Amino acid sequence: MIPDTGRVSLARIAVLVSGRGSNLGALLAAERAGAFPGSVTQVVSNRPGAGGLAIADDHGIATAVVDHRSYPDRERFDDALAAAIGPGEPDLVVLAGFMRVLGRRFVDRYAGRLVNIHPSLLPSYPGLHTHRRALADGAKLHGCTVHFVTADVDVGPIIGQAALGVRDDDDEDSLAARVLALEHRLLPACVRWFCEGRLVVENGRVRVLDTAGPGEIYSPPLDR
């Protein structure tokens, strides 16, 4: 079972990216606004040209590249990734569009402080091409999920979700853009909950303690 996170004071946050880094940008904007008691202290990518690295450079954040193509297998890549992250001693590791499956040894190293944002309402549509699959199925609701990472892909305890209604005129691109806007709101909220020590994991399920009092749960409103 993933342990309770407890309160983290001024959390050090490592962000792993593979692409343009829009969720990283949203986290940094939230940090500048004082939305959570923590700071993104390092950004690591498995792709040398990832846009997220440029965003980090613009903000004076330490970066590293661990190119998965330089390693013969997942375990050696995972070990190199852990070596790049380790010196920063992060309290939280955020997978923000990180397009590599991590092995059990890496996941166990950061258990309880490793989270991912996924562009669907898990457990529906794990894996890739989530928007295309939702449209093909005629789904009426779609959205995004932030969850703790476990060794099984896209099945870790769910921290938070945000949803929207699928429009009749949505195509894959328009639906992806609208879900991405939800991601930019949900991920900073979940990071805040972690940093504030409001996440309690019991029997594989996450409760988010509201400021109104212990045991109350906060759920993001449905975006219509």
Q: 42 near 14, Cβ under 8 Å?
A: yes
List Cβ neighbours of 182 (8 Å cut-off, separation of 6 or more): 143, 144, 162, 163, 164, 223
User: What rounded mean pLDDT belongs to the chain?
Assistant: 92
**Closest to 92 in 3D by CA, of 7, 200, 219:** 7
Judging by beta carbons within 10 Å of its beta carbon (0-12, 13-18, 19+), is residue 40 exposed, middle or buried?
buried
Q: Calculate mean pLDDT across residues 88-98.
A: 98
Active-site pick, 59, 68, 118, 131? 118
Output the pTM of the full model. Answer: 0.91
Domain ranges in the chain are 9-110, 118-144+161-224
What is the number of helices (H) and of strands (E) in the chain? 6, 9
Residue 126 has pLDDT above 90, yes or no: yes
Phi, psi of 124 (to 5 degrees): -75, 135
> How many other C-beta atoms can be found within 10 angstroms of the C-beta atom of residue 129?
12
What per-residue confidence (pLDDT) applies to 9? Answer: 65
Judging by beta carbons within 10 Å of its beta carbon (0-12, 13-18, 19+), is residue 93 exposed, middle or buried?
buried
Q: Calculate mean pLDDT across residues 11-28.
A: 98
Higher local confidence (pLDDT), 217 or 120: 120
Query: What class does CATH assign to 9-110?
Result: alpha beta
**Closest to 214 in 3D by CA, of 192, 190, 198:** 198
Judging by beta carbons within 10 Å of its beta carbon (0-12, 13-18, 19+), is residue 202 exposed, middle or buried?
exposed
Q: Calculate mean pLDDT across residues 211-223.
A: 44
Residue 38 has pLDDT above 50, yes or no: yes
Q: Do domains 9-110 and 118-144+161-224 have the same CATH topology?
A: yes
Q: SS3 for 83?
A: helix
Q: Calculate mean pLDDT across residues 99-128.
A: 97
Please, which pLDDT band fits residue 210 given cuts at 50, 70 and 90?
Answer: confident
Fold for domain 118-144+161-224? Rossmann fold (3.40.50)
pLDDT in tens, 142-160: 999 999 999 999 999 999 9
Q: Calculate mean pLDDT across residues 180-195.
A: 97
Give yes or no: 131 in active site. no
